[in-house]
């Protein structure tokens, strides 16, 4: 257990070195947040409500999703696949700890850094530029924290599985990029999934990817309350577990394949 803590801590510290890059990335995220919010401001001039969101909620939605992009690391994570192509994975797998746990711990450390140094500042900028809708009670904050943790687990599971495809595919990045673009939309980043037409919306919300950004955002906004809230978070938890189990199973299959092939 101590090992995973150390791994997480080190991952956090490693990110600290990229101060300037973080600042620049933060500016980009914030600018995109501004543009998206401006679109909503214009959209709401004719009507006061769209799909259950009012203007303030919609603006907050854009800012919270922008803030969380780097926390859940929606795309561009190829660390595991890189070790597979270099072959380092072979020695990593023979170490006496959970491979999955190791990478998860690293991701937690990384995510915590971005929560503090990316999400925080972005929300601050959003609050300065617009009037955001913050959670009104500590219950909501608690639910949001839980939802965020689950969102990270779901995202990690997706990324991990996509990376593992490098064991079987020569061009894992090519295929993976295609999958990531779908995830990017289905997470609710481009537009809230609740704006989709009814039928498609139901499917989209049932998929694991909605749990990456849409659900935690909706929890934050109190767009989902009571029974809806429980369902949404439970669905997140279900997918998180399913993806992690699938990851572990796939990992075992990959390890067996390595042993058979001789590395």
Partner 1 sequence: MAVIFETGGIYRRLIGAHLRSQMQHKVSFVLRTLGTFAANFFDFAGIAVLFGRIPQLSGWSLPEVALLYGISSLCFATAELFGGALDNFDTVILQGTFDRVLLRPLDALFQVLTEEFALRRLGRMAQGGLVLGIALAQLPVSWTAGKVLFLAISLVSGTALFLGIFVLGAAYCFWIVQGKEATHVVTYGGDFMSNYPMDIYSHWLKRFATFVLPIGFVSYYPSLYLLERSDPFGLPDWFRLMGPVAAAAVCLAAWCAWRGGVSQYQSTGS
Interface residues toward partner 1, by CB under 8 A: 20-21, 24-25, 27-28, 31-32, 35, 38-39, 41-43, 45-47, 50-51, 171, 174-175, 177-178, 181-182, 184-185, 190-191, 195-197
Going by C-alpha positions, the residue among 163, 116, 85 that lies closest to residue 22 is 116
Query: What's the closest the beta carbon of residue 256 comes to partner 1, in angstroms?
Result: 26
User: Which helix (H) or strand (E) segment is 169 a member of?
Assistant: none
49 backbone dihedrals φ, ψ, rounded to 5°: -150, 135
User: Which helix (H) or strand (E) segment is 166 a member of?
Assistant: none
By beta-carbon proximity to partner 1, the closer residue of 21 and 116 is 21
Task: Give dist(CA 176, CA 82) in Å, integer.
Answer: 13
By beta-carbon proximity to partner 1, the closer residue of 37 and 150 is 37
Query: What's the closest the beta carbon of residue 196 comes to partner 1, in angstroms?
Result: 6
By beta-carbon proximity to partner 1, the closer residue of 190 and 230 is 190
Q: Note every long-range contact of 4-10, with CB atoms under 8 Å and residues 24 or more positions apart, other chains counting.
A: 4/97, 4/101, 4/102, 4/104, 4/105, 5/105, 7/102, 7/105, 7/106, 7/109, 8/105, 8/106, 8/108, 8/109, 8/112, 9/109, 10/106, 10/109
By beta-carbon proximity to partner 1, the closer residue of 54 and 92 is 54
List of residues 6+ apart from 193 with CB closer than 8 A: 186, 201, 204, 205, 210, 214
| CA distance to 82, 124, 132, 243, per residue, from 127 (Å) | 39, 5, 5, 35
Task: Give dist(CA 22, CA 205) in Å, integer.
Answer: 31
By beta-carbon proximity to partner 1, the closer residue of 35 and 142 is 35
Query: What's the closest the beta carbon of residue 160 comes to partner 1, in angstroms?
Result: 20
Query: What's the closest the beta carbon of residue 62 comes to partner 1, in angstroms?
Result: 11
Which pair of structure tokens corresponds to residue 105?
């711990």
**Quick check: 72 and 29 in contact, CB under 8 A?**
no
Query: What's the closest the beta carbon of residue 3 comes to partner 1, in angstroms?
Result: 32
Query: What's the closest the beta carbon of residue 189 comes to partner 1, in angstroms?
Result: 9
Task: Give dist(CA 148, CA 119) in Å, integer.
Answer: 12
By beta-carbon proximity to partner 1, the closer residue of 35 and 206 is 35
Query: What's the closest the beta carbon of residue 84 comes to partner 1, in angstroms?
Result: 17
By beta-carbon proximity to partner 1, the closer residue of 39 and 258 is 39
Query: What's the closest the beta carbon of residue 54 comes to partner 1, in angstroms?
Result: 13
By beta-carbon proximity to partner 1, the closer residue of 25 and 101 is 25
């Amino acid at each position: 257990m101590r090992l995973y803590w150390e791994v997480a801590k080190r991952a956090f510290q490693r990110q600290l070195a990229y101060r300037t890059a973080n600042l620049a990335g933060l500016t980009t995220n914030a600018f995109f947040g501004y543009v998206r919010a401006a679109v909503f401001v214009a959209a709401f001039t004719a009507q006061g409500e769209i799909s259950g969101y009012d203007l303030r909620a919609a603006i907050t939605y854009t800012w919270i999703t922008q803030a969380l992009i780097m926390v859940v690391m929606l795309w561009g994570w190829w660390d595991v696949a890189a070790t597979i192509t270099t072959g380092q994975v072979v020695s990593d797998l023979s170490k006496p700890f959970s491979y999955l746990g190791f990478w998860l711990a690293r991701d937690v450390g990384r995510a915590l850094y971005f929560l503090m140094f990316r999400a925080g500042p972005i929300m601050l900028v959003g609050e300065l530029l617009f009037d955001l809708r913050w959670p009104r009670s500590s219950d909501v904050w608690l639910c949001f924290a839980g939802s965020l943790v689950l969102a990270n687990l779901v995202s990690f599971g997706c990324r991990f599985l996509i990376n593992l495809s490098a064991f079987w595919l020569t061009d894992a990045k090519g295929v993976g990029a295609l999958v990531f673009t779908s995830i990017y939309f289905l997470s609710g980043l481009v537009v809230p999934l609740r704006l989709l037409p009814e039928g498609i919306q139901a499917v989209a919300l049932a998929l694991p990817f909605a749990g990456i950004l849409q659900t935690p955002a909706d929890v934050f906004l109190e767009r989902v309350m009571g029974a809806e809230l429980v369902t949404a978070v439970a669905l997140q938890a279900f997918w998180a577990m399913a993806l992690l189990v699938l990851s572990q199973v796939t990992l075992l299959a990959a390890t067996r394949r390595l042993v058979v092939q001789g590395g």
